[in-house]
Amino acid sequence: MPVMELLERNARLYPDEVALVELNPEEKDNRRTTWKEYELIQPTSFRPYRREITWSIFDEKANRFANMLLDRGIKKGDKVAIIMYNCLEWLPIYFGVLKTGAIAVPFNFRYDADEIVYCVELAEVDVIVFGPEFIGRIEANAERLGRGRLLIYVGDNCPSFAESYRELVADCSSHAPGIKITDEDDGAIYFSSGTTGFPKAILHKHLSLRQAAEMEERHHEIGREDCFLCIPPLYHTGAKFHWMGSLVAASKAVLLKGAKPEAILEAVSKERCTIVWLLVPWVQDILDSFDRGDLNPKDYELDQWRLMHVGAQPVPPSLIKRWKEYFPKHQYDTNYGLSESTGPGCVHLGMENIHKVGAIGVPGYRWSCKIVDENGAEVKQGDVGELCVKGPGVMTCYYNDPKATAEVLKDGWLFTGDMAMLDEDGFIYLVDRKKDVIVSGGENIYPVQIEDFLRKFDKIKDVAVIGLSDRRLGEKTAAIIEIKDGMNCSAEEVENFCMELPRYKRPKEIIFAEIPRNATGKIEKPKLRKMYGADNLVAKETME
């Protein structure tokens, strides 16, 4: 059953119950509004502190968007990109795309103008839906992006090169379009990258989306009384598919803008949230605010909060030990996954296994796992090998890239590129990454992109970017730089040069040293990690 049918079921059975809430804690105007009230407001820069929609309005908005796309000639198999920050419109637009039989293509909102063009062309996108924060990036290539494509703007004061979402859907039917869609139809494309930094388009069937939704509901025992607080961006498979557990359970969810400790605690308190998915930096920030006395958990109504789970990066056991000191009754879980496996959950710790913090866990609902050597043979318990997963959430392919697909999909098994080991109790531990991707604050950072940028600096002879352990972010980027003979260069000069990079890509540490390369000319990054203490020791920590 495609996930759109779950939305329609909820709209039918629970039409007047709140499905989604949007919170904008940075807004000084604390007015609250329903979606209908918001639509009556004249186009201005106003955005209320709180908006909400019911299940019936959610489904109605999805239907209107679907019918608009169909009226404009969008058909089954076409691609619709979504480039927006989290907001109340995001999920109805996503489900509207799915209802047409078209393929939803969420974009990372960190993409710059050139990356947007690259991904649009890679995925053969037919429609681009974007929010006000992306006007400049779309306008920079508007002629190229608009050639044969529909550009839809979600917000006030629509730019001249796009069409207004609000005006387009205003007179469209609110009834389901009735397109026949099965679990075997293509449903979504997500983007990922290897060490080269060039995104790959990951194609998933509707079966993958349903699997992710049902798995989340089962893993965390979500019921209709639960309320999920969603903070990470919805373009990310983690955020969206954790939310889909709420879709299965027909329970309320809250989209929170920002991740400040006070805003998180206030949202949990006022919206009566029971499940919160956090990244390691946010956990660290909350605990630090408690330790300093800036915030006091007793000032909030948190008794209903039952589950805190963490994902997107390794979790230090010592961090969870600290958390349990403040919240001794909390359940805890962590999830492992890739965009190629429809996000988190193909391996999960399980709420009953907090004694195994440090492990990523056991195979998730309907998943199988194995750890293999370079020849594809399973290794012995305790030996290190590559983690492979198999299940109904594995991608169909890398879109239009059969060579890359063949490298990671073998006999139905997805080769993850992550090195792991199995303990005597059957729990999987990550040991290292086969790829060089740096995971900082839950975001993937691709060293080659930063290296290529830094090589443009005329004083730099060679450069290697690696991840160093960081208490708050999990990893931070470090640039090892070899200066050209006879030249002098300071860290400040390099930092100034890097101001052209997005903030999250700028190296947090600069080290001047020679770059070791092997006989074939490849940078010996394992040697650099060992030299600078970058080995990931998270899995070796205990909860003593």
Where is 57: in which H helix or E strand? helix 55-71
Q: Given this chain, do its domains 3-205+251-256 and 307-433 carry the same CATH topology? A: no
DSSP string, 439-499: EETTEEE-HHHHHHHHTTSTTEEEEEEEEEEETTTEEEEEEEEEEPTT----HHHHHHHGG
Q: How many other β-carbons are positioned within 10 Å of the β-carbon of residue 28? A: 5
- Report the distance separating Cα 186 and Cα 166, nearest Å: 28
Q: How many other β-carbons are positioned within 10 Å of the β-carbon of residue 455? A: 12
Phi-psi sector, 140: left (phi>0), alpha (psi -120 to 50), beta = alpha
- Report the distance separating Cα 393 and Cα 389, nearest Å: 10
Residue 407: which residues within 8 A CB-CB, separation 6 or more? 415
Specify the pLDDT at position 199: 85
Residue 159 burial by Cβ neighbours in a 10 Å radius (0-12, 13-18, 19+)? middle
Amino acid at 82: I
- Report the distance separating Cα 237 and Cα 209, nearest Å: 10
- Architecture of the domain whose range is 307-433: Roll (2.30)
CATH code of 3-205+251-256, in short, is 3.40.50.12780
Name the DSSP class of 278.
E
Specify the pLDDT at position 197: 57
Specify the pLDDT at position 544: 29
Specify the pLDDT at position 280: 80
What is the phi/psi pair of residue 515, to 5°? -100, 115
Domain residues of the chain, as ranges? 3-205+251-256, 307-433, 446-540
Specify the pLDDT at position 469: 86
Q: Which of 212, 205, 207, 211 is nearest to 187 (CA)?
A: 205
What SS3 string covers 194-219? CCCCCEEEEEEEHHHHHHHHHHHHHH
Specify the pLDDT at position 402: 96
- Report the distance separating Cα 20 and Cα 389, nearest Å: 33
Beta bridge partners of 334: 310
Q: Which two tokens stand for residue 524?
A: 């010996």
- Report the distance separating Cα 269 and Cα 328, nearest Å: 18
Specify the pLDDT at position 415: 96
Q: Which two tokens stand for residue 71?
A: 């009226």
Amino acid at 50: R
Q: Give the pTM.
A: 0.83
Specify the pLDDT at position 238: 85
DSSP string, 485-544: TT----HHHHHHHGGGS-GGGS-SEEEE-PPPB-TTS-B-HHHHHHHTT----GGG----
- What is the fold, at CATH topology level, of the domain defined by 446-540? GMP Synthetase; Chain A, domain 3 (3.30.300)
Q: Which residue has the tokens 């890359």?
A: 404
- Report the distance separating Cα 370 and Cα 389, nearest Å: 7
Taking CA atoms, 40 is separated from 34, 37, 107, 154, 155, in Å, by 10, 5, 29, 16, 14
User: Which pairs count as long-range contacts for 221-224, CB under 8 Å and 24+ apart, including other chains?
Assistant: 221/351, 222/246, 222/248, 222/249, 222/251, 222/275, 223/249, 223/251, 224/249, 224/250, 224/251
Q: Which residue has the tokens 């160093």?
A: 468
Q: Which two tokens stand for residue 252?
A: 């309320």
Q: What is the mean pLDDT of each run of 10 residues along the chain (544 residues)?
A: 96 98 78 52 58 97 98 97 96 98 95 93 97 96 94 96 96 95 97 68 97 96 97 90 96 95 96 93 89 94 95 76 94 93 93 91 96 94 94 97 96 92 94 73 78 87 88 88 89 94 91 76 76 51 29
